[in-house]
Structure formats: C-alpha cells, structure tokens
Chains A and B, each alone.
Chain A
Amino acid sequence: MAAKAQAEQAEKADQGDQAQAGEGVKITARGVNVWYGENHAIRDVNVDIDDKTVTAFIGPSGCGKSTFLRCLNRMNDTIEICRVEGRIEMDGQDIYAPEVDPVLLRARVGMVFQKPNPFPKSIYENVAYGPRIHGLAKNRAELDGIVEKSLRRAALWDEVKDRLSAPGTGLSGGQQQRLCIARAIATSPEVLLMDEPASALDPIATAQIEELIDELRAKFAVVIVTHSMQQAARVSQKTAFFHLGELVEYGETGQIFTNPRDPRTESYITGRIG
C-alpha cells in the first residue's frame, strides 16, 4: 500500500494532472501487408492507435497479431525473409522512411516480451542500460534519478531499492517482468508494445502487471497482444480482433465484448468453433 502511495506521488510530481484516455491518434497504419517469404501473414490492415490508451490485439494463434505488433517498432526488420508493405506513421511521420533509424525508433517505441528477459546484470544496470546508450543522462546522479523513476513507475522500487546491485535474474518472475517494463520505459518512450506480458506469470503477478498497464496508460500509448480475452477486457479501452492475417474488427472494448459486429469476432470471444 505504502509502495503504491509513494509511486503515485512520484507520478504526480513529474506528470502533472492525469491524462485522459483517447487523446488523439498516435499511430496510423494504412494498407499494411506483411509476408514471411511466401506466407502472406498480414493482409491490408488499416488501424488508428490512440494515444494514452491501452489497445489490445486479440485473435487465435497465427492470426498475425504479434506480427503486426512487431511492425510498429520495426522488429520485423531483423527477420530476413520478412517483407512489410504499406504505411505506418507515428505522429504523422512514416516510421519506415529511409531516414528513420530503427534503433532510435525503438527507444520511442518500447517493447516488453512474453518471457521476462532481464540482462544478466544488476537490477540497476538493467534499467540504466537504455538511458546510458541513448545518452539520456549527463551524470551519475541523473542516471540514478531515471533508474528510480522508472522502477517506481513499474511499481517495483519498494521491492528492490535495497538491492539494486543484486542480479536482475534473481527476482521472481513477476518482479522480472516489472523490471523489463522499467527497462522499457527508462528511455521515456511514447509507445509501449507488450507481447503477452503476463502469460508466464501467476494470477497475482498478472494482476500487478495489469494494474501497472492501467497506470502506464496515463503516460504512453500501450499496445498489448494477449491470448487471454479476459485480460484484454480488463486492461484495454480499444480492442482489435485479428483472424487469418486480417483485422476483422476494431472498436471500443466494451462494445467488442458485449456486442461485436462481426460474426467471426463473436465466435472467437464466446469460445465457439470458428
């Protein structure tokens, strides 16, 4: 409880008033197609991702939701046989333009993966790494500040503040995932992509991550890929349903889960064979 109150205070100090959901469009995707070799993985996807909003991508395995997520910070660039067509803009700027440095883009669009993957380094170094390589801190004191702020925002500070030099890999699964979130937000990104961030965690750690996602929404656009429809329902304001590489339906989460427009969405979220 005390930890949360403190974290909240820290939030308020550097954030001003809490931002509301749905403050304009952050990312625009138009006519996006992705191929893995011959396999047409994403088919003509158009979507507007809102700022300061949690957007959930749901759909059966192999529907393309993770592939599309990875387009948003050009993670697919690292896969040789992968070809991306169409236009993806962040704040009106084409993120696939030749002058865009993917490394800098990924500092603006952070990512958290399914399995917590802390570096085999200290807790402090895990968080300090990004800000250091991007030159975000002038001196040690500033870096200390960023590390503390990021750990607080990831709701981990009170659990680790006395052992910052202990290895990050020694934390519990849930703590490791929050450490990875702290690492992802240490570079002050604008968008946070999360690929199944809680699927390897127990229910309590999952609830903590979900609570954290809801808090992060005040600061970032969050896009989460999840297999758990209940998780999508719990944490997101917008939901996109992918099926066979197509974006079948995209809308307000409450609407998707009470009254989906497309029968394929209905079949999927009600657990019918589809």
Chain B
Amino acid sequence: MPDRHILRAFDRDLREIQAEIMKMGGLVEEAILESARALAARDPELAEKVRRRDREIDALEARINEEAARVIALRQPAASDLRTLLTVIKIAGNLERIGDYAKNLAKRTAVLVNMPDIEGAPRAIRRMAKEVEQMLKDALDAYMRHDAALAEEVRQRDHEVDQMYNALFRQFLTFMMEDPRSITPCMHLHFIAKNIERMGDHVTNIAEQVIYLVTGELPEESRPKATGFSEEGLTP
C-alpha cells in the first residue's frame, strides 16, 4: 500500500502527532531511569527534577489527545489511519500513567534519603526499572516500525518484571519480619517496586496497542502470569 495520502496535509498531521508520541516516550523513558538513579544514588535533587518534568509529560498527553480529536474531526480517518489515531490516544494515556509512577518513585526517594539504607534494594529496583525502560523503548520502536513480532516479544517480557517484583516482595517481607525498624523504608520500597511492576503492565498495554495497530486485532490469549502469591493470599 502506498504510504502517502492524496491529501498531503493528512500525512503531516499524522507525522506530527506521532512525533509528539515519540517525544513523550523519550521523556517517560528518561523519567524511569532518572527516578531509579536518584533512588540508588540517594540524590534528592535528581528526584525533584523528575517530579518537575512530569508536568511536561502531562501537557504532552493533553496536546496529543487534542490533536488526535482534531484530526478525527477534520479528516474522518478510516482503517489503519483510524487505528493509528486510536492507538496514539491510548499510548499517550499509558505513557502518562508510567510518568506518574516515576514521579511517585521520585517522591518516595525524597523521603527515603532520610532513612537507613536497605541493603541491595535500590540496586535491585534500578535493575527492574532498567528492564521496564528497555521494554518501553522496544515497544515504542515496535510502534514506529509497525513490528507486531517485537511488540509480542515485549508483551512476553513483562513476565520477567513480574518475577523481579515477586522476588523483591519476598525480600522486603523478610526484612520487615527480622527488623521492625525497617518497616517504613521497606514499605516505601515495596510501593516503588509495585509501581515499577505496574509500569511494566502499562508497557504491555502499549505493546498490545501496537499489535492492534498492525493487525487490526488485539491479542487474545492472556500472558503467562506467575505471582505464586495468590495461593498464599499474599498478593498485595
């Protein structure tokens, strides 16, 4: 299929809106990495920067939604054009949520710098954040390249993030039982880990949107879920 519309202005509209998505994606990737780095380095200033920049992410989402509404109203998109715009809106929504989680991570970091360090936890969290950031990068690449296979791979990788979270959860539980003074920092760290796990879910949503964009259908079969906690009644 030719990739140009007879009406060139339509192509410009679609290009612009997708450029905004990529910009938003870049900011969110940065927020994930920097919030995790701030935590590992106990750097309140970097954490504060992540919190400030979240406003930019929110503003971009609003702009993308407005722009998508305008294109839908003016161009009456159909088929893959319609799917492009629908996915743009959904991806922007998911990116915005991921940005919020990064902001929350930064907020908790500002509190955690005044508390005793929990051995190994910030490093493990940073690894987890890096994994999610890599997934997001691949999901956005898959989006730009219309690569459903890569999107499916990203979707499957969320499993690893879930496992990392589960391991951290057990670890924090052990720390808290051993030393009740660690409860406050461990609870903060647990929420951070949980939020990163949620980021992974939003990246998975983005990957699913890419599959919808390319194939016209959302993937049906559910992803492998391995919590191991639900049986124990320990799922937070």
A269 to B82, CA, bound (A): 11
A125: min CB distance to chain B, Å: 41
Q: Is B225 an interface residue (CB 8 A)?
A: no
Query: Which of A229, A263, A273, A274 is close to B78, meaning CB atoms less than 8 Å apart?
Result: A229
Most buried by A among B6, B10, B80, B81: B80
List, in ascending order, chain A residues with CB within 8 A of B217's CB: 259
* Contact-residue size bin, chain A (C-beta under 8 Å from the other chain): 10 to 19
Check A270–B7 contact: CB distance below 8 A: no
Check B6–A257 contact: CB distance below 8 A: no
Check A267–B1 contact: CB distance below 8 A: yes
Q: Given known contacts A258-B216, A259-B217, A271-B7, is B2 in contact with A233 (CB within 8 Å)? A: no
A154 to B81, CA, bound (A): 36
List, in ascending order, chain B residues with CB within 8 A of A230's CB: 76
A260 to B81, CA, bound (A): 12
Q: Is B3 an interface residue (CB 8 A)?
A: yes
Q: Which residue of A is nearest B216, CB measured?
A: A259
B75: min CB distance to chain A, Å: 8
Most buried by A among B76, B78, B81, B83: B78
Check A257–B7 contact: CB distance below 8 A: no
Contact with A along B80-110 (1 / 0, CB 8 A): 1111000000000000000000000000000
Q: Which residue of A is nearest B75, CB measured?
A: A271
Q: Is B77 an interface residue (CB 8 A)?
A: yes
A233 to B76, CA, bound (A): 11
List, in ascending order, chain A residues with CB within 8 A of B216's CB: 258-259
Check B76–A260 contact: CB distance below 8 A: no
List, in ascending order, chain A residues with CB within 8 A of B6's CB: 271-273
Would you give 24 A-B contacts (Cβ < 8 Å), ordered by A?
Answer: A229-B78, A230-B76, A257-B78, A257-B82, A258-B79, A258-B83, A259-B83, A259-B217, A260-B79, A263-B1, A266-B79, A266-B80, A267-B2, A270-B77, A270-B78, A270-B80, A270-B81, A271-B10, A272-B1, A272-B3, A272-B5, A273-B5, A273-B6, A274-B1
Residues of chain A touching chain B, judged by Cβ–Cβ distance below 8 Å, are 229-230, 233, 257-260, 263, 265-267, 269-274
List 14 additional contacts besides A267-B1, A273-B5; criterion CB under 8 Å. Answer: A257-B79, A258-B79, A258-B82, A258-B83, A258-B216, A259-B83, A260-B79, A269-B78, A270-B77, A270-B78, A270-B81, A272-B4, A272-B5, A273-B4
